[in-house]
Amino acid sequence: MRKSNQNCDGHAPVTRRHLLFGAATAASAGLLQAHPDAEVTTSRAAVKLRGTARCCIFINLNGAPSHLDLFNPQDGSWNPRDVDLRQGPGGMVLSNRFFPNLSRITNDLLVLRSVQSWENAHERGQFYMQTGHTQNPAFAGETPHIGAVISREKGANGLIPPFMSFNQSNLQGATFLGGRFQPLMPPAQRTGISTLSHNFFGTPDQSRARFDRRFRLLENLDTPLRENPVNQNMADYASFYAQARRMMYNDAVEQVFQYGATDEGRYGNTTIGRSLIIARNAVNANNGAVFINVTMGGWDLHDTMFDLGRGGNFYQLSGELDRAVGALVEDLRGAGTLDSTLIVMMGEFGRTPGNLNSRGGRDHHKDAMCAAMIGGGVKGGRALGKTDGTGARVTDPGWREDRPMYTEDIATTIYSALGVDYTKSILDTPSGRRYQYVQGAEEGRYTPIEEVWG
């Protein structure tokens, strides 16, 4: 029986309560132990950082897509008759049936074909991909999402929170880094966030004046607590109110979360399409966002993956991804922001190689998977690494390290692209345990994939 992704794909809409508490957190659990002034140390002064990207759009293909049918297709009996594999630049092969739009922009696309995962189960694999750390329940509360770490390093100075996320309920969040770096999880809808203004009293100007009076009253009543908070949680809530207030009644902020029917149609009128429209808006607005996670679920195709008679098959999923990402790249290029925006696409592990299983699908396989990158200074038109002819194992790592690429290496690559020192550690955690941005990077066990820059 095919495993359901329902719990992984649920939406987490912004409510009025979320917005008033800062619009920077989807849940208060992440605020329980916040150390925003945690000591940071690094032991490698000569770390080379690329700094080619201003922000990252991370497309989380939740459910683990088949690498053999996604970005590492091979000629074999397992392919559907209409797969239409075509050779592109740099040894890249794509299905023109599944990815007609990406096939037209292969000069921008970089494929990593020699990736492996340490994990072979969805929950652990998602944690690993989101944090760059293997899951240890004892330390999960002190292992933040990569987006939260990047936000701590690069963001928190704009009109909107630096970390945004769409369509994922099992997001790791900021943990001990504190609520300022929790993700904003807004709805992806044409009308935007309804609570950015409260026009329920007379005219819009009258409503705003009334809201301003009440907010000033709240600030006056809370002044003693804000100036001398009982604990860090209370201090965080005070800063949340200030952040939320800056977002409200602001046309520049409202425009980030709104879009028209034409764009919705171009991006495919799908969940991922609508989310990437807002991601595009946030990038182009340049008003605070530095890491945007967009999750696309449904890739856990253990059965009937090429059956056109069932919903959520590989044809549908690849078509939605292809259309939305193709439109995103076109729009970012048109706005002049593609070169400073790193787009990353990957799932939590790969899928069983060669022929489909007896149910017409593929099962879990961690020994080979793939990832793709566009923009952000990455040199496209290439594929790094190779697997054998069935996609079972890595035969050529394709980079200077004579081993497969791991999620830790991809994490350090993202950090380097955004100018974040991936060898840093935070010493002042709630437990006193040292948190390393990428465990093993300080000793050189994991390193950026420098070849992505050419």
- DSSP string covering 398-420: -SSSSS-B-HHHHHHHHHHHTT-
Same domain, 187 and 213: no
Please check whether residue 101 lies inside any domain of the structure. Answer: yes
**Does some domain include residue 141?**
yes
Residues 81 and 213 in one domain: no
Answer yes or no: do 102 and 205 share one domain.
no
Whether residue 257 sits in one domain with residue 243: no
The domain in which residue 235 lies consists of 198-247
Q: Are residues 167 and 221 in the same domain?
A: no
CATH of the domain at 393: 3.40.720.10
- Residue pair 149/2 in contact (Cβ under 8 Å)? The answer is no
Half-sphere exposure of 333 (CA within 13 A, CB side): 11
Query: How far, in Å, CA of 302 to CA of 361, rounded?
Result: 4
The identity of residue 213, as a single letter, is R
320 and 338 belong to one structural domain: yes
Q: Do 333 and 417 fall into the same domain?
A: yes
Among 247, 267, 282, where does a domain finish? 247
Same domain? For 271 and 401 the reply is yes
| Same domain as 387, residue 270 | yes
What residues form DSSP beta bridges with 55? 341
3-state secondary structure of 261: helix
Q: Where among 247, 276, 310 does a domain terminate?
A: 247
Together in a domain, 321 and 343? yes
> What is the structure's pLDDT at 411?
98
Does residue 142 sit in the same domain as residue 235?
no
User: In the chain, how many domains are there?
Assistant: 2
Nearest-10 Cα torsion for 411, 415, 421, 427 = -60
Is there a domain that residue 223 lies in? yes
Alpha carbons within 13 angstroms on the beta-carbon side of residue 427 total: 5
For residue 72, give both structure tokens. 């590492």
Predicted pLDDT of residue 5: 41
pLDDT in tens, the chain (454 residues): 434 444 333 334 443 334 433 333 333 333 334 454 556 776 566 799 999 999 999 999 999 999 999 999 999 999 999 999 999 888 899 999 999 999 999 999 999 999 999 999 999 999 999 999 999 999 999 999 999 999 999 986 789 999 999 999 899 999 999 888 989 999 999 999 999 988 888 888 898 899 889 988 988 888 888 888 887 777 777 777 778 888 999 999 999 999 999 999 999 999 999 999 999 999 999 999 999 999 999 999 999 999 999 999 999 999 999 999 999 999 999 999 999 999 999 999 999 999 999 999 999 999 999 999 999 999 999 999 999 999 999 999 999 999 999 999 999 999 999 999 999 999 989 899 999 999 999 999 999 999 999 9
**Which pLDDT value is given to residue 40?**
73
Q: What are phi and psi of 128, to 5 degrees?
A: -60, -45
Look at residue 24 in the predicted model and tell me its pLDDT: 35
1 found inside a domain: no
Determine contact, residues 174/144, Cβ cutoff 8 Å.
yes
In a domain, 412, yes or no: yes
> Are 290 and 404 in the same domain?
yes
Pick from 247, 268, 283: which residue ends a domain?
A: 247
